[in-house]
């Protein structure tokens, strides 16, 4: 149990460090604040889900199906975004 608490604490610290680093990098490129928050929150959610899966794996829960489900969701979201951008009215600007 103590190992899971340490894993959670270190994981949350690393996630906050990663999000702060992304914010600083995007701010250096004069990115729009709304887009910066969106990207930062997206990264935080993805890393938090991975942290929960790592903690469950630490307790011995089989996480293979969860990882496969997340991979499928990522593929579906990526395909949806690809289709959305392919039919965008801004297509001529790419």
The ranges assigned to domains in the chain are 10-85
pLDDT value of position 57: 85
- pLDDT tens digits for the chain (94 residues)? 888 889 999 999 999 999 999 999 988 888 888 888 988 998 999 899 889 888 888 888 887 887 788 888 888 888 887 776 666 565 555 5
Whole-number Å distance between alpha carbons of 56 and 30: 39
Q: What is the CATH number of domain 10-85?
A: 1.10.287.1260
What radius of gyration, in Å, describes the C-alpha atoms of the chain?
A: 17
Count CB atoms within 10 A of the CB of residue 48: 13
pTM given for the model: 0.70
Question: How would you classify residue 60: left for phi > 0, otherwise alpha for psi between -120 and 50, otherwise beta?
Answer: left
- Cα–Cα dist 24/20, whole Å: 6
């Amino acid at each position: 149990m103590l190992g899971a608490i340490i894993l959670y604490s270190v994981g949350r610290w690393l996630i906050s460090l990663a999000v702060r680093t992304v914010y600083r990098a995007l701010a250096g490129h004069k990115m729009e604040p709304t887009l910066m928050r969106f990207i930062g929150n997206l990264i935080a959610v993805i890393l938090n889900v991975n942290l929960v899966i790592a903690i469950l794996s630490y307790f011995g829960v089989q996480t293979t199906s969860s990882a496969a489900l997340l991979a499928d969701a990522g593929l579906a979201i990526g395909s949806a975004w690809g289709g959305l951008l392919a039919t965008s009215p801004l297509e001529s600007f790419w």
